[in-house]
Structure 1
Amino acid sequence: MFRHVGKGRTLAHNLQLASLLSLVAGIVNVTGIFALQTLTTNVTGHFAYFADEVAQNHFAQASVFLLYILAFLSGAFSSHFFIEITSRHDFKLGAALPISIEVFILISIAFLGPEAVKGNAHLIACSLLYAMGLQNALVTSLSNAVVRTTHLTGLFTDLGIELSKLLFNRNAEQQKALTSSIKLRLTIIAFFFSGCIVGGLVYFFQGMLSLLLAAAILIFGWVYAYLKFKILMMKRKLQH
């Protein structure tokens, strides 16, 4: 799911990627809300808060929301920059670097105590937004913009459109394509919500250690994809 790009990807690849990273995004989302009382997986709301603070001449607070927006942007920029640089040699390394950085950020924040979290709330929020920018740009690049995992507004819009199209479209091939797309969007939504529920339960009992679960899911996904590729290569060698 991390190695195939563009036309080389199948629905199965995208479903695997969508379920894995949407689950992570859901956990990070609910942890950010509970621990920091702010959005840490997307910047849509931060634009509204930024505009509201500027309108009230609260420029110091407005600058905080601007930093949140720039943190997410920086993560997206960094992710694609790493992919472009390393893909010239081996694309799997391009995917590995953003994931490694995201895992490092999640693990580092997970072990912070309540006082450290409270005293560094803005820095932690920026770090999580940077990590989600990394993830969203990575999954967008891999899937050719088919999969998005850190926010649901566009997904629900596209899902509504495609459900409507399904009612009127009678072409079998187009119906099949629409059904596949709807299945992918429902998978992302379901796993994002699942991540929110599971992450919320873990946070209730273990606090910021809920981010360790998100990091573990990322590591598991990478190891699974790596081993699956190695097994496939071994089978091909044996066949030849």
Structure 2
Amino acid sequence: MPVHYARFLVGRHRTITANRQLGWTLAFVAGALNAGGFLAVQTYTSHVTGRLSSLADELALGHLNLVVDAIAGVAAFVLGAMACAILVNFARRRHLSSTYALPLMLEAALILVFGLMGARLSQVEGVLLLPATVVLLCFVMGLQNAVVTKLSGAVIRTTHMTGVVTDLGIELGKLVYWNRTQRDTPPVRANRQRFVVLGGLLASFTAGAIAGAFGFQKLGYVSSVPLALMLAALAAVPLADDWRRRPWRQRG
């Protein structure tokens, strides 16, 4: 991967094009982890909506141990988002080039742990019946969702497609809407650039899900290792830039 492209994609200074392409990349990663992770841990981990619904259902059924498990999954997602905020704010205060590379490198390391030690971690129960692999994946998804949210100003989401599909439907509605000529009402026009972004996110997530599902079916946990290496390669360039400059030493 060319160094200048990694610096463009993950660097501190953001552009619409960089946000779009990084969003597509991370949507692929999220789709692969969500679908492949389901085959590994029998639950989806990229969003908290289902976990909150599960919490309510299990509470009504009196399955208090599963209620705690649902809470633990949501808490792990929240902690992932918190970790991202801490890393990003730390880097911003020190004017580091690796503002967004730091959380992505952490994500890469955790995915690598999942890929190399997932089978062993699945036997470790964290909170009651919840395997450590589920907690790990929920944390990773919270971390990634927060990264993209912060760098894009909450414009792009990559770990869940409900909002993406809704916005895509709105833009399609605008696209096919028949505009009558009216003096006081401006015509309804679809945002074609937004349509491209949303369509790319949906396509990337779907492609990642297919790749993740087939990869886990054929190779098991190790199929997630290429995802970790890809993210690590992207994040390594801004981190190397900071290491060469060492701005934290100059700033005390």
- Smaller-chain TM-score bracket: 0.7 to 0.9
Amino acid at match of 1:2: V
**What's the RMSD between the two structures over aligned residues?**
2.4
Aligned residues of 1:73 and 1:130 also touching (Cα < 8 A): yes
Amino acid at match of 1:130: F
**Identity, % of aligned positions:** 31
Q: Deviations over 1:147-171 (max 9, x none)?
A: 1100001111111112212334877
Give runs of aligned pairs for residues 11-26 of structure 1, distance below 5 A: 12-26=17-31
Q: Could you tell me how far apart the structure 1 residues matched to 2:74 and 2:100 are?
A: 23
- 1:142 is the counterpart of 2:159: no
The aligned counterpart of 1:158 is 167
- 1:82 is the counterpart of 2:99: no
Q: Could you tell me how far apart the structure 1 residues matched to 2:118 and 2:79 are?
A: 26
Amino acid at match of 2:206: F
Gapped runs of 5+ residues in structure 1?
Answer: 230-240
Deviation, 1:52, is: 0.3
Q: Could you tell me how far apart the structure 1 residues matched to 2:238 and 2:85 are?
A: 21
- More helix, by proportion: 1
Larger Rg over CA atoms: 2
Amino acid at match of 2:148: V
Amino acid at match of 2:88: I
CA separation of 1:88/1:174 partners in 2, compared to 1, >3 Å: closer, same or farther? farther
Amino acid at match of 1:26: G
Aligned residues of 2:111 and 2:225 also touching (Cα < 8 A): yes
One of 201, 216, 221 as aligned partner of 2:234 = 221
Deviation, 1:220, is: 3.5
The aligned counterpart of 2:15 is 9
Taking structure 1 as the reference length, the TM-score comes to 0.84
Aligned residues of 2:174 and 2:189 also touching (Cα < 8 A): no
CA separation of 1:35/1:201 partners in 2, compared to 1, >3 Å: closer, same or farther? same
CA separation of 1:86/1:222 partners in 2, compared to 1, >3 Å: closer, same or farther? closer
- 1:43 is the counterpart of 2:48: yes
Q: Could you tell me how far apart the structure 1 residues matched to 2:44 and 2:175 are?
A: 34
Q: Could you tell me how far apart the structure 2 residues matched to 1:32 and 1:45 are?
A: 15
Taking structure 2 as the reference length, the TM-score comes to 0.80
The aligned counterpart of 1:238 is none
- 1:181 is the counterpart of 2:183: no
Aligned residues of 1:76 and 1:133 also touching (Cα < 8 A): yes
Q: Deviations over 1:210-238 (max 9, x none)?
A: 22022122123335x759x9xxxxxxxxx
Gapped runs of 5+ residues in structure 2?
Answer: 1-8, 180-185, 242-252
Q: How many residues align?
A: 222
Amino acid at match of 1:128: L
Amino acid at match of 1:28: L
